[in-house]
Amino acid sequence: MAGYPRAVARLVEALERLPGIGPKSAQRLALWMLRQPSERVTAMAQAFLDAVTQVHLCEVCGFFAETDRCTICADPRREAQLVCVVADARELLAIEQTGQFPGLYHVLGGVLSPLDGIGPEELSVAGLLDRVGGGTIGETILALNPTPEGDTTAAYLARLLKPRGVRVTRPAMGLPVGGELSYADKVTLERALAGRQEL
Amino acid sequence: MAGYPRAVARLVEALERLPGIGPKSAQRLALWMLRQPSERVTAMAQAFLDAVTQVHLCEVCGFFAETDRCTICADPRREAQLVCVVADARELLAIEQTGQFPGLYHVLGGVLSPLDGIGPEELSVAGLLDRVGGGTIGETILALNPTPEGDTTAAYLARLLKPRGVRVTRPAMGLPVGGELSYADKVTLERALAGRQEL
């Protein structure tokens, strides 16, 4: 029985290591790559290499940076007393894209998930407490996903942060803008009613 | 508004170019990669580069090869009069994995699909006719998927091959082994009945 040449097998294995890519998808991607002009694949490999060599984590907030500090932490116009805590860079970017948030960030690097072996040591919790200990921060917004893990992580952080004299908030939960009340799930509706606001 | 550092943005763009990977998945994959030890990402990039520099298509059958001919075409024990025509390398491998096919292959590089601009010139049809013209081949098995495109391609090839005095066959269609008759779709059941065999 013949199989793929070694270089193809190694390519399939490399692609299989990507999260969410199974053996069938890896094979499909490998075949696609081998049909591309080689400059295209070379450029892709170069993008991988550039990313690992040029990108670091900001020493203050944990977001991606090409120098010691990210462009957000290095920006003197950002309000240093307001820090938004997020699980990862995607959420940071989603908030940046609103163009409305004037403060800084803190990227935890995930949420607590004991089943996956992710405890406080795996996240940038000590770093957050250090920053709060610095005395400049007046409020931390815990912008974690409204999922069981996000809720647990927020509760855990709140317990640590409050005694340090910092204000701890979470983004409001309720109906998504443009959503229909009759399509909202029970928990969302419950929270939206509980958090109702004066007009 | 801040965004990703350029190297991260380029990584996301590179991943977005992969088929079936949308902007959200590309971001998720990029973030995962940036969390990996850099040797791991470097090894992945190297696998990409090795694949494009070391892998060619076999000059005879179109399967992957590290020299001019693939290991199958170069194997003198394979029966040269029997050629199995497949759309791509995945199908070739699926057949090889049965360990039962003694012949050689011909990889078309796809199936006819006028809507996607794939005509006979985009496939290795001329190469197949050349091989058949050589006179060694006695039978071609058109192992194309039983889909409309596969059926059309098989019919097209049969029309070209038969006048050249070569036997043209297709794998039997019928109930999958281990499948349940009551779950089979109508067309499969129809073909299974039409192709019924003496016990």
pLDDT digits (tens, 9 = 90+) for B61-83: 999 999 999 999 999 999 999 99
Burial status of residue A165 (CB atoms within 10 A of its CB: 0-12, 13-18, 19 or more): exposed
Residue A152: CATH number of its domain = 3.40.1360.10
d(Cα A153, Cα A111) in Å, to the nearest integer?
A: 6
Q: Could you tell me if residue A162 is inside a domain? A: yes
**Chain B residues 77-96 within an 8 A CB cutoff of chain A:** 88-90, 93, 96
Domain with B122, as residue range(s), is: 77-169
Q: Which residues of A touch B40 (CB under 8 A)?
A: 17
On whether ipTM exceeds 0.90, the answer is: no
Pick from A34, A55, A96: CB nearest B55: A34
- Which of residues A195 and B90 earns the better pLDDT score? B90
Report residue A17's pLDDT band, with 50, 70 and 90 as the boundaries: very high
Q: Which residues of B touch A108 (CB under 8 A)?
A: none
Which pLDDT does position B186 carry in this prediction? Answer: 83
Angstroms from A188 CA to nearest CA on chain B? 24
* Chain centroid offset of residue B106 CA: 10
With 90 as the cut, is the pLDDT of residue B196 above it? no
Q: Could you tell me if residue B140 is inside a domain? A: yes
With 60 as the cut, is the pLDDT of residue A1 above it? no
Q: Could you tell me if residue A10 is inside a domain? A: no
Q: Could you tell me if residue A190 is inside a domain? A: no
Q: Could you tell me if residue B153 is inside a domain? A: yes
Say yes or no for a CB contact (<8 Å) between B14 and A43.
Answer: yes
Interface test with B, best of A16, A32, A49 (most B CBs within 10 A): A49
Report residue A21's pLDDT band, with 50, 70 and 90 as the boundaries: very high
Residue % of chain A over a pLDDT of 70? 98
Say yes or no for a CB contact (<8 Å) between B89 and A31.
Answer: yes
pLDDT tens profile B27-66? 999 989 988 888 999 999 999 999 999 998 999 999 999 9
Interface test with A, best of B28, B48, B70 (most A CBs within 10 A): B48
Q: Which residues of A touch B74 (CB under 8 A)?
A: none
Residue pair A143/A103 in contact by the 8 Å Cβ criterion:
no
What tokens were used for B76?
A: 């003198």
Q: Could you tell me if residue B130 is inside a domain? A: yes
- Which of residues B181 and A145 earns the better pLDDT score? A145
Which pLDDT does position A10 carry in this prediction? Answer: 94
Q: Could you tell me if residue B131 is inside a domain? A: yes
Query: How many domains are contained in chain B?
Result: 1
Q: Which residues of B touch A27 (CB under 8 A)?
A: 90
Q: Which residues of B touch A34 (CB under 8 A)?
A: 51-52, 55, 64
d(Cα B3, Cα A92) in Å, to the nearest integer?
A: 9
3-state helix, strand, coil in chain B (%, to 5): 45, 15, 40
Residue pair B83/B141 in contact by the 8 Å Cβ criterion:
yes
Chain B residue with minimal CA distance to A88?
B31
Say yes or no for a CB contact (<8 Å) between B31 and A65.
Answer: no
Mean pLDDT across chain B, nearest whole number?
A: 91
Mean pLDDT across chain A, nearest whole number?
A: 91
Buried b (16+ CB within 10 A) or exposed e, B114-147: eeeebeeeebbbebbbebbeeeebeebbbbbeee
Q: Could you tell me if residue B162 is inside a domain? A: yes
| A30 touches B at CB < 8 Å | yes
**Chain A residues 118-157 within an 8 A CB cutoff of chain B:** none
Residue pair B118/B112 in contact by the 8 Å Cβ criterion:
yes
Q: Which residues of B touch A77 (CB under 8 A)?
A: none
With 60 as the cut, is the pLDDT of residue A149 above it? yes
What average pLDDT does range A163-168 have in this prediction?
94
Q: Which residues of B touch A32 (CB under 8 A)?
A: 18-19
With 60 as the cut, is the pLDDT of residue B1 above it? no
